[in-house]
Every structure is written in C-alpha cells, then in structure tokens.
Amino acid sequence: MASSDSRQDSDRQDFEDAEHGFIATLDPLTIKTADDGPVVFDSAPFAYLDGERPDTVNPSLWRQAQLCRKNGLYQVTEGIYQVRGFDISNMTIVEGNTGMIVIDPLISAECAAAGLALYREHRGDRPVTGVIYTHSHVDHFGGVNGVLPDGAGEVEIYAPEGFLEHAVSENVYAGTAMNRRASYMYGANLDRSPAGQVCTGLGIATSSGTVGLIAPTVDITRTRQEEVIDGVTIVFQLTPGTEAPAEMNFYFPAQRALCMAENATHNLHNLLTLRGALVRDARVWSRYLNEAIELFGAYTDVEFASHHWPTWGNKNVIRFLSQQRDLYAYLHDQTLRMLNNGATGIEIAEDFQLPPVLESAWHAAAITGRCRTTSRPSTSGTLAGSTETPPRCGGTRRRPPPPDTSRPSAASAPPSPRHGSSPTAVICASPLNSAATPCSPTRATSAPGTFLPAS
C-alpha cells in the first residue's frame, strides 16, 4: 500500500483534470424532493474523504472516491458543460443556437433539476431544445422529467436503436431483483464512512429520487449518422453490446469533442455486473473503441463521458482510448487462452493478471469491476447467469493452479503502484493489444462538407 500512496502523491494529473473548468457548485450539496422533503442525494457524509486514508480502505478506492466527490458545473470546452457529482453519473449540456441539448439527465428528476438550475444560474435561462440518451441504463435517462417537467412537447429525444426495449427489459422485467442486487453491489445501505460506503467507483453515490422515462422520438440507426440539433452538428457511432446492449458514442465536429458515453471511463468497468444485466462482450467493446479511434481520434481535442472527468489534448485522448481498448481486448483474449489451457472459470478469475503497462494505468484500475469478476466466463442472460448472494460471490478454487512457465516469477516482477501486487506479463495474440505503443495520429482537420466519408 505504501507504493500506491507514493504514486498517488506524485501523479496528480487526474486531480487536475477533475478540477479543470470548474465554475460553481451547491454548498451544501444536499438535494431533497422538496424544501422540507426527504433527501435524495447528499455529498456531506463523504467529508471524511478530506482526511488521511485509514487502513480500512483500499488506496485505489480512496483515490477514486476523492476524485468522484468533486462536484459542480464545469466547462469542458467552448459551448459544452457538465454537471458532475450530483449523482452517480454526469449530465452534459451543449449550447445550441436557441437553447441547450441535455445529454444523460442522471437517475432522479430532483438531481437533474438541481443541476440544470445551477447551469442556468451561471449560463442563462436557456430552454431545453434537445435530449440525448447515450444508452439504456437508468442513470442516463431516469431524471429526464427534471429537465422536461412538462413532457417532451416539441423537443426531440435521441437514443440508439433498441434503447426502449432494453431500458424496459432491464428496469421493469427484472427491476425488483436488480434493485436488490444493486444494493449489495453499491453498498447503498451502509453508513457513509471509512468502514462503510466509500464510493461506487463510477460516482460518489446513487440518488434515490423520482425516476421516469420519456420515450425517444428519434432513433440513431447507423454509425456515421449525422444530426443537427439546434444548430449543433453531431456524428454518431453505434456501439451495441458494449457497456449496454443499446449504446452510442458521438462527436461534435465544431468543438472537436468526443462523447464516449460509458464505453471509456476512468476505471476497469464491469463485464459481469453483480447487480445483474446482460453480460458485456469484451471483444466487441474493444473493437468499437478501436473504431472510435479510427473515426474520430485524429480530429479530437477533448474526450468526455457519462461518468468521471474529461481528457484533454489529442495525444492524451488517443493514449487513453487505446489503453481502454487494449484493456478489454486483453481481458477477452487471456480468458480464452487460459480456458483453452484447461483452467476453470474460477481459476481464471483468481489467476488473471494485467500486463504492467495496463496495471500501471490509473484508468484501468479495478474499482467498479475487477479482473476476478470481469474475466469469469458466464452465459448471457437477464441476471448475467449469477444468482449468488454477497457471501457466495467469490466461489472456490477446484484445484491448485498449474505452473505457467511462460510468465516470470512474482519475485522478479516490479511492484504494482496501484495495488501493491506483482503484475506479470502474459503474451496476447490480439492485434488490438498495443497498449505499449498506442497509435498517435497527427492532428487533422475535417474535409469540407460532411465530416466523415461514406466508407
């Protein structure tokens, strides 16, 4: 743990990025259903994160919690703003010719309304002229009534093809079971303390306010589809089967800004989520990340997402997306390699290790997901093929691990700066796995007319 603390002290880039563009916040950040109603979101109990890390908290989790606790209205780039830390997810606001486009209005209407009010206080009382759902998880659409309290009216709502089907199947058909399992996964009923809930990894905590859904009016049906919303040109990339079964990234040519939805976050994401959901396909995920780099990488100066903080600078964006791509490709490829070598699912989960270049990247840290659960082979289904309760999630090893002469011994491996473990290199056959040498295209400008060629 000492090595992790030392690296945390020396590597402060994420902290600088998380504070970049700060405008204002609410103090205290306590959101209620009404002036004297029940609290639906409160950052005050996490004030203990300002102190020293106790031994009860993993260093990486403590660092992530400190980053996720930062909250308020931030400018991403000219005309693009984010409300962060008002829920587990981010709400992004893009200024148009006559109003604003709202991307992912959080879980609860109360939180979305509070974030919108903060924006209007500092940027003017613009009307909502468009809404975009990046994908079919509730923390990206549930608060829509907070930004459209009178319903959609003439406001168009954009979503990836298949959004409504998957949003309903996840949150209605299996909603009761998923909510119960989510309380295990996020520790929602624990005290906010160093011995209780520290953060969720994707955000400081989830809200508990009013959840709603207004059906999309415009489907995004293909990659390279262009839409102009309130004068703002947006180029879409469909990414089905990645972090959600219906999901999309999109690019703003005028701002040279790329929204990666929840496909590239500052942590190792779940492939097999303990709350239950369709199993995510790591191979498909990595290929869509590679496609995003090919489509938009050379034209991007800032990348932002539906969780965490943005990444600025073309080279930094390419490095971040390349390592995220390689992370999921590596999880897929090495799981299959070990499976073909005779290891069982539990043995793969216990023995799996990332190569040093990914082990040392903060955004590949196993905060919300971990190699143990992300690498475990499982069948696809509404509850991800798992019915385990928290005490049974770990499983047991069936036999001692076979010796692996292709890897250096733990004694000869360098210590992990994040976990204090000893990462070892494993050969990967995937052509996508190039984390050591991420592609770095030179800055480019879009051609006249449409942003992207037809093929």
Structure confidence at residue 367 (pLDDT) = 63
Range name among 136-140, 308-312, 377-381 with the lowest pLDDT average: 377-381
- pLDDT score for 234: 98
pLDDT digit string, tens, across residues 46-97: 999 999 999 999 999 999 999 999 999 999 999 999 999 999 999 999 999 9
Q: Of 99-108, 274-283, 412-421, 427-436, which one has max mean pLDDT?
A: 99-108
Q: Which two tokens stand for residue 337?
A: 């390699």
Strand locations in 253-330 (E): 257-259, 302-304, 311-312
Share of the chain above pLDDT 70, in %: 76
Tokens 């019915």 identify what position?
387
| 155/163 Cα distance (integer angstroms) | 18
The pLDDT of residue 390 is 52
pTM of the predicted model as reported, rounded to 2 decimal places: 0.82
pLDDT band (50, 70, 90) for residue 409: very low
In single-letter form, the type of residue at position 455 comes to S
C-alpha span between 255 and 261 (Å, rounded): 17
Q: What pLDDT does 226 receive?
A: 98
Q: What is the pLDDT of residues 142-164, one digit of tens each?
A: 999 999 999 999 999 999 999 99
Asked if the model's pLDDT at residue 232 lies above 50, the reply is yes
The contacts of residue 335 (CB under 8 Å, 6+ apart) are 282, 348, 352, 375, 377
Q: What is the token pair recorded at 21?
A: 């563009």
Stretch 349-373: mean pLDDT: 77
* pLDDT top residue among 217 and 402: 217
Does residue 84 sit in helix, strand or coil?
A: strand
Amino acid at 90: N
Under the banding of pLDDT at 50, 70 and 90, the label for residue 274 is low
CA distance 179 to 410: 40
pLDDT score recorded for residue 406: 54
pLDDT of residue 428: 32
Q: Token pair of 455, please?
A: 């093929």
Distance of CA 154 to the CA centre of its chain: 30
Q: How close are the terminal C-alpha atoms of the chain, in Å?
A: 49
| Distance from C-alpha of 245 to C-alpha of 384, rounded to nearest angstrom | 13
Count other Cβ atoms within 10 Å, centred on residue 320: 20
Question: Which helix (DSSP H) or strand (DSSP E) does residue 317 occupy?
Answer: helix 314-340
Q: Are the C-beta atoms of 325 and 300 separated by less than 8 Å?
A: no
Looking at residue 101, its pLDDT comes to: 98
pLDDT at 349: 81
Token pair belonging to 35: 């002036």
pLDDT value of position 112: 98
Domains, the chain: 10-316 (3.60.15.30)
Beta strands in 239-321 (DSSP E): 248-252, 257-259, 302-304, 311-312
Best CA proximity match to 309, nearest among 296, 320, 318, 323: 320
Residue with the larger pLDDT of the pair 197 and 421? 197
Give residue 393's pLDDT: 52
Residue 160: closest CA among 242, 257, 95:
242
Average pLDDT, stretch 1-7? 43
Length of the chain: 455
State how far the Cα of 82 lies from the Cα of 93, in Å rounded to an integer: 6
